[in-house]
Structure 1
């Protein structure tokens, strides 16, 4: 049995993965196993009887446990070199890090110290590599045990927090946490130890950390669990994100400043638009008032000139060799100039939104097709006209004649901007405005459905310093005598009178584009027809009460009516007209009255007259339609309005039309 036990012990000894060395009390080697021969490079015979110092480097002998007598005085089993390995020396003189486990064995008459020696070179290399990586890490690495004690720090931790390594080791991790959050920090730590999942913390909204000097900084922390010989620790990689936070704050400040500047720019733009709108409105009121007064004068001048022209023409026919033929030709020049002046006053009224309009439900594509050939002739052969119409567009409410005038004015303007040829494009489409800040028009249109008309040329463009003035009346960049400065002013007035919006985009050398938005309607478009030429037919005997405060115009109107067989009663104002109607015992067929008069306006006068004479028809004369525009910006359909200045033929045609419906 003793032999079997010795064999078993020898087998276990030889099978051990560690080097097993038995040392007597005199320090001599009494026992070695095969792994000792492999580890140290000595044969068994070379080792037995040698002093243990043979296997210990000289520099380590004073501290080596196998060399110290204190171990024999307290021969309890113990591991040594686990924290910081001891060293062993091979036969060839090379050294290696070693961990040694000591125990005593009572071997009959003698006591042996048994040393289990393990070569930990690989572990030391791994630990050295790990420590190198740890020390080279750009982030602070802090290892924390379950009880919150710091067990691991790297060099970056010292630099970041300002503590020395020995000041941190063994301390509570809360020393690196600001005081106001320390109370809740252990709970966070405990929750992490209960669920050891790697996680980043503070990536969205950075956490805060505290340095030795008390200063704080924003930090991102990445947590992970690490198994060590001392137990489980949590490794925290801590990164100072001050620069990033400051950069983000700076970006937010810059964005806020950009928004503020954008708001200021937008406010200044809106104020400039409001200023321009008010300036154009004031100019429109002035233009409308001037045009109204001029229309009265032109009506007198043109009609009296027509009377004289008729007489001179008769005299010229009777005496072909006398001076009358030249006089007749001169008077025709006067009439042509008067008609040209009439066109200018109509343009002024259109700009001032006081022109007489008769809006209809229109398909704008139809209006463009009707005027397309006329536009081609106006542009000339050196300019190409490209028309692209979006079929199935919504209808709009507008005066077709005025829409044609807008297109013609823009075409003529584009032609003058392309003296060497080019292209004029007209494009239509439906357009939806979803916010009050739509960029197409200035001022911006309210949300709603619109029809968009874009007229663009490839001409010379308009300098930026004059863009804000192009819609002003009489403003022109053309040479003297080449333009009146009313073309674009008329466009502006017509579009805005139709409750639309217009803007212009242009730059020198890049051409010019006008974009117009007309409010869409759900009504069905009417079929376009050409207005008939005024007829001068006589309706028959009738009595007309003529009311006009401008004496010269009243006289010439009375003369036209009287010469064409009408009985005419006259009055210079409303109260006088009421007195004439009261004193006249016969039938009055028609009240022909001016609109704007002292004491009593034409509409109120008509109400007073028709109250006592219900069968009287009413026709109005006015230089502009503003008094008759209703809340929707349209002319009442039953209103007969004769615009000033009128010719004899136009006056008589409207009179016949009014008397037809007696």
Structure 2
């Protein structure tokens, strides 16, 4: 019985398409399954070369590859790690897996070839790839060594890579630089005890874009068993929009908090700036009643005129406060006015012009009108002068408040000084903190905080010095508009 005949029976009963070829590539034996796979009639392949089964694109290279195999013949899979195709009699290309086993026949070595039709598997894989490419989430599959074996279009778009650029590259390419060294350890640990789970639960995760930028992501890991070993599919969700939305929400929360503070400022300013004028009006009306009983009509007329002036200015003051509240961080209209007249009006509103215990001393270093935000400047001066009035020292024979001003280097500088009780050293750091009350004379703790806020908004500065028992001095400077500098 010839060598070929010994294999014929085994070939015919084998469910696997099989072929026996000589070193020259001649087909010595092929079973019916092999003929059927390649669309040949039984026996039609005999005495032909295996090159007829190779697609035209690689047929010229096949003899060289065949010779290389026979130089070191071993049992192995043919075309491992790459696409392998055959061509049928009708010219149809079919996807294959081939198993090669060397067979000795005297001094010759022949090749026993087992062919597996993987077209159905390939079709299934292609459908899976199409489905995964259609997915909105990015998907990256890696093998046990951390090499990327599959990446869908969403992942390539997310990470900024072109078609196929990521295949066979280490997955650390998608990991931020600071985790490059430790990430292979994580991959190895997961391969050892793998289960479907979220990656990095309880902490923020970032992936690396091709340009080096960090992308906030959520990742789910799914183990996949395959003929090539264990794989891991990573489903990656881009959280950039969610993170941006959360940051925007945080910004809105901070903005709302700032608005609440502004509301407190407004409430304080409205009550603070109206309290003194109302007290002055009440005091003048009491004097009017006394003068009426004494038929001193001239004094009544004089005080009523003062009351009307204070009331008018108070109404304008409320409008000014509303403008400041509405303006927020924007600049208010610039107005041109006399600073000295403005200070004297504030003094009358705060004292009713009848406070003989306190003396106002004005030292104006200029006579030219000032061009700046009138409403804001009034708010600043009213708070500083009101504080100077409140903290007078009853132990001293006279209470003096000095207000001085000058132009210098494009700024209006104003100082409000008094000889009152002063500020204790331990309280100096708290003077301009919101809602801080130094003693029982303190208001709601908003006045100086509001003053500093408005001066900061206008690009100015505010400083103070004080010695307990001797008085306090507050100085501020504001940039002048061009109209004030000429």
TM-score (norm 1): 0.37
- Provide TM-score, normalisation by structure 2: 0.49
Larger Rg: 1
